[in-house]
Amino acid sequence: MTARSSFIDQCGGVFEHSPWVAERAYDSGAVYDPLRCGAVHAALCAIFRQASRDERRDVLLAHPDLAGKLAIAGKLTDDSKAEQAGAGLDRLSADEHAEFTRLNEDYKTRFGFPFIIAVKGLGKDDILAAFKQRISNTQDEEFQTACEQVEKIARLRLEAILPE
């Protein structure tokens, strides 16, 4: 296995279903041994930020709805499943699930991509409050906020696999 393929295997999933971020970071020469969380995160985020708006939007679209159909069907990535479970989203009452479903649909209708938030350390009430606050953002504000959350999620995922 080459160093490139090893890096892609290890870090290619930190941006949801978007290994191209890790591939471009590696190919740019911004990734070097020893792999350290902060340096890798900086390299990946630089690539993400340089990507076209459509490419970044595709990354947003790769994220699942919170407590959505994929979660119910058991089809989340292992990372997403653990993150949502850690926030208690796998233990919602029927009424709470209905509220999440409604908010997910309202949000996607307004912005064209799923609501994204780094859920680590948050509970369902925190997430619902953020949902309700962010739905009033402008399209540009929310696109930027969602991209920032994607980068935060990537950081948290990298922290789990790389030393600081």
What gap in Å lies between CA 84 and CA 114, rounded to an integer?
14
Write down the residue that tokens 């208690």 correspond to: 88
Are the C-beta atoms of residues 63 and 104 closer than 8 Å to each other? Answer: no
What gap in Å lies between CA 127 and CA 134, rounded to an integer?
10
What gap in Å lies between CA 63 and CA 101, rounded to an integer?
15
Are the C-beta atoms of residues 83 and 66 closer than 8 Å to each other? Answer: no
Query: Active site residue: 17, 41, 63, 97, which one?
Result: 63
- The amino acid that residue 103 corresponds to is L
Contact residues for 79 (Cβ-Cβ < 8 A; gap 6+): 13, 14, 16, 157
The question of whether 63 is a catalytic residue gets the answer yes
What gap in Å lies between CA 62 and CA 150, rounded to an integer?
11
The tally of CA atoms less than 13 A away on the side-chain side of residue 105 is: 6
Q: What are the residue numbers of the active site? A: 63
